[in-house]
Amino acid sequence: MKVIHTNKQLIHAPEQFMVTGKLQTHPESPERAEILMNAAKKFGLTEESPLNYQLKYISRVHTQRYIHYLQTIYQRWERKKQTSIEVMPGIHPDRRDCGYPDSAEGQIGFHHADLSSPIGPYTWEAAYWSAHSATHAAKLVINGEQACYALSRPPGHHAAKDYAAGFCYLGNTAIAAQTLSEKFNKIAILDIDVHHGNGTQDIFYERDDIFTVSIHADPIRFYPFFWGHANEIGKDKGAGFNLNLPLVRGTKDDEYMSTLHSALEKIEAFAPDALVIALGLDAYEKDPLQGLSITTKGFEKIGLAIGDIMLPTVIVQEGGYLSPELGINLSSFLEGFIIGRKL
């Protein structure tokens, strides 16, 4: 099994984000990827760098206006005087169907859902290559690999068609699924990050060929708050093809596994041709973001259950933040997955 990654993803090093009204040190550090890569290689995965797919697959998921914004906003921001060290919004529209301003400040507000995704001088390049890691993993699966792990960083499942959010800029999981659709007619996405993948949901909410399933801490009291509720089932053609399974904060292994088995039954009923896993290791009981209480052994059980689904699979790294067990939890998930898949 291969792990797809490039060190170009490490050059994005956000300094700050706002939570509870305070600017704090940003937890989405390059060190995350270094720990995960070391764990993947120690586990025995073979490292491979992604090819440059230009904007071919990114533009199938995100709007041209948003892509242009990400490519250019830091340079525009830097030319202004008395600005913060990173691009951060100071205003947000109250709806998505509002007017689109010409000013940098207005566009920043339009293209950011929160204050957790600052843009620095290397954010676009790192996000660009993070998306290519997901694309490349999907390409390998299209070409016959049974499973592949995309160590994408920065993460992506909070990034919607035209806005950044939750440390995310480009929708890596969505891009992997869209890439797989070149060969496979029906694709299931299973998001096991502690946070709901609102960006992935936004991108596929009106599609019936991609079934999006998310198991996450209940947004009634947890980020992203406004999305991820059980009554969000899809829209128009996509009605019935979006499934949210929110869990009470602090949910432990046994209850989580019961919910996971229900999710996998729904996926099997959909009868997909391929599977994308949005792998969030932040459901861990000692993760700094503290939403669920999954143990290291629990990640092995999760991997085993998912591995039993004998489908071509792309695993895309999403959350999971600095703790002594971060790399161990990845190894635990991979151990279970490989046993289940009999690789």
* Residues labelled as active-site residues: 158
In Å, how far are 14, 27, 56 from 323, measured between CA atoms? 18, 11, 36
**CA 209 to the chain's CA centroid:** 20
Q: CA-CA distance, 32 to 151, in Å (whole number)?
A: 10
Q: CA-CA distance, 176 to 182, in Å (whole number)?
A: 11
Asked if residue 16 lies in contact with residue 24, where contact means CB atoms within 8 angstroms, the answer is yes
Q: How many CB atoms neighbour CB 186 within 10 A?
A: 16
- Binning the chain into helix, strand and coil, the percentages to the nearest 5 are 40, 15, 45
Nearest to 143 by CA among 2, 42, 280, 267: 2
Q: Side chain identity at 322, as an amino acid letter?
A: L
Q: 46 has which bridge partners?
A: 2
